[in-house]
Structure 1
Amino acid sequence: MLQESKYDDFATDYADENEFSMLNAYYERPATLELAGDVAGRRILDIGCGAGPLAEQLILRGATVSGFDTSHAMVDLARQRLGDDADLQVATLGEKLPYSDSSFDDAIASLVFHYLPDWSFALEEVRRVLKPGGRLIMSVNHPILYPFNHRGKDYFQLTQYTDDVTFNGKPAQLTYWHRPLHEIMTALISAGFAIERVWEPPYVKAAPAGVIPEALRDRDAFLSFLFFSLHTSKVDTNTP
């Protein structure tokens, strides 16, 4: 039986942690925004929007943002942040998305694809809602971390695993799917995406004292997530 990460159970604690944590506020989110670049005037789909911190930053940069999350509680928190008129929906990546074809200039999937055992239909749907030439910016757990953190496990096998984590000082569990790098690349290319950039970014060294562990202060970067900037063909090959 497949396990799932149940964000409704710890939505507020996760959102509080995400706001200021090293991994989110000073590593993943800045790297995603750097990959997105100048988004003024662009229409962006925030996939797995959570409580809306990324959507908020994109809107401040001039983008028009729609977002969805599988967690009702997360969408409620995002609406509190972004306002009652925000285009937010409860939907699930890997199922039919509630958007028309060619609706978005960009889609951003921040730390969400690693919850899926199969990326095929999810990527097909993302490609469908993107305009020809549209971009997909995504981050996932770095595949090297699974065998590093779970000694003796096979890097080359698609594997479901659960980690014990702490959000806002409270225990929780997150369940992921590990896939080796070659399977990630194959899935992206098979879905019709061209790879512009694969990135293992630095963290923001200007983070407040106490946020970055002292063991990392003398390092420029560390491995936690893997980032991709992708684009679709400028000619929609799905159109007859």
Structure 2
Amino acid sequence: MATDYAQERAFFDRVASATTVTPMSRDVLERYAAPRHPHLFAKELMFRLAGDLRGKRVLEVGCGEGVASVQLAYCGAAVDAVDISPVSIDVARRRADTNAQDVTFRVADVTREDLADPGTYDVVWCDLILHHLTDSLGAVMDGVWRWLRPGGVFIAREPVAYAGWLKALRGLVPVAVDATDDEQPLRDAEFDVIRQRFPDLKRRYFRILARADRMGAGLPLLRGLARMDNALLTLPGTQGLAGNVVVWGTK
């Protein structure tokens, strides 16, 4: 069944309409400007992979409410950010204004629109978006490849499909998880599609204990849980237990 992108848009419009925009703390902004634990936290790894962003052009596909867009701009990048949800884009603009960051936001459907001229960007950033686009993934990745300059980097973080028994067990954890009907955690088939465009694709898995992130734990506890994950994921056969993955490749 094809993804219903109108339904996706409506879902994220509803979520964004309930958002209150507040300034980001300097500690959070600095955490990603100078990531200290990229081996423990997926988003810190993404920023480490992006490198020194000063003067670089970044395209964020599926920017949502603009959290990462503002963080990327804080790091010195010239950020263009797109999302299918008009309400999310409105929130993202207010977030950038509140945090005194200059980001160019626009409403766009990446499955239907060519977002930029070839070779425009140093980094194409996809944070928790590709699993909403699995039935259009080939066309989306063709665009990502085209928009990157030679030597540019594609970076994504996505949920991954895991064993059915583990999915059932995680379902017993009493934590509300927002999800649309059409999203699909990435499977081997999706990684194969991405690898067709980025043959050097690399992966780093995280978060066997992923749902603990949503339980309101503070950073020290999360860091301890992440260290446990880091140890567990060194054992044979444990990658299939991970909750998400960072993937990256160079044009």
- TM-score, L = length of structure 2: 0.68
**Distance across 2 between alignment mates of 1:81 and 1:211:** 23
Structure 1 pair 9–62 and aligned structure 2 pair: CA distance change class (3 A): same
Corresponding position of 1:66: 80
The code of the aligned residue for 1:68 comes to V
Structure 1 pair 52–216 and aligned structure 2 pair: CA distance change class (3 A): closer
| Alignment equivalent of 1:123, drawn from 136, 141, 159 | 141
Corresponding position of 1:225: 244
The equivalences for 1:10-29 within 5 A come to: 10-13=15-18, 27-29=41-43
- Secondary structure at the aligned position of 1:220 is classed as helix
Deviation digits for residues 52-71 of structure 1, max 9, x if unmatched?
11111111111111000111
Residue 85 (structure 1) shift: 6.0
- Contact 2:118 / 2:146 at 8 angstroms: preserved in 1? yes
Structure 1 pair 229–180 and aligned structure 2 pair: CA distance change class (3 A): same
Deviation digits for residues 82-118 of structure 1, max 9, x if unmatched?
2396311111222223322211111000000001132
CA RMSD of aligned residues (A): 3.4
| Aligned residue-pair number | 203
| Alignment equivalent of 2:13, drawn from 3, 8, 13 | 8
**Distance across 2 between alignment mates of 1:104 and 1:13:** 32
- Contact 1:195 / 1:228 at 8 angstroms: preserved in 2? no
Deviation digits for residues 144-193 of structure 1, max 9, x if unmatched?
26663158xxxxxxxxxxxx9747xxxx5423124422x13311122x21
Higher helix residue share: 2
- Secondary structure at the aligned position of 2:63 is classed as coil
The code of the aligned residue for 1:106 comes to V
Deviation digits for residues 177-223 of structure 1, max 9, x if unmatched?
24422x13311122x213353112479xxxxx833696984551543
Structure 1 pair 40–100 and aligned structure 2 pair: CA distance change class (3 A): same
The equivalences for 1:1-240 within 5 A come to: 2-3=3-4, 4-5=7-8, 6-13=11-18, 27-83=41-97, 86-118=103-135, 119-144=137-162, 148-150=166-168, 166=176, 172-175=178-181, 176-181=183-188, 183-190=189-196, 192-201=197-206, 210-211=217-218, 217=224, 220-222=227-229, 223-232=242-251
**Distance across 1 between alignment mates of 2:248 and 2:20:** 25
Residue 80 (structure 1) shift: 0.7
**Distance across 2 between alignment mates of 1:147 and 1:114:** 21
Corresponding position of 1:154: none
Higher mean displacement: 102-111 or 29-38: 29-38
Structure 1 pair 27–193 and aligned structure 2 pair: CA distance change class (3 A): same
Task: Name the % identity.
Answer: 21
Higher strand residue share: 1
**Distance across 2 between alignment mates of 1:60 and 1:215:** 24
- Contact 1:50 / 1:69 at 8 angstroms: preserved in 2? yes
Higher mean displacement: 39-48 or 220-229: 220-229
Deviation digits for residues 129-151 of structure 1, max 9, x if unmatched?
11122110011112226663158
The code of the aligned residue for 2:157 comes to S
The code of the aligned residue for 2:203 comes to V
- Contact 2:43 / 2:157 at 8 angstroms: preserved in 1? no
**Structure 1: which 5+ runs fail to align?**
152-163, 204-208, 233-240
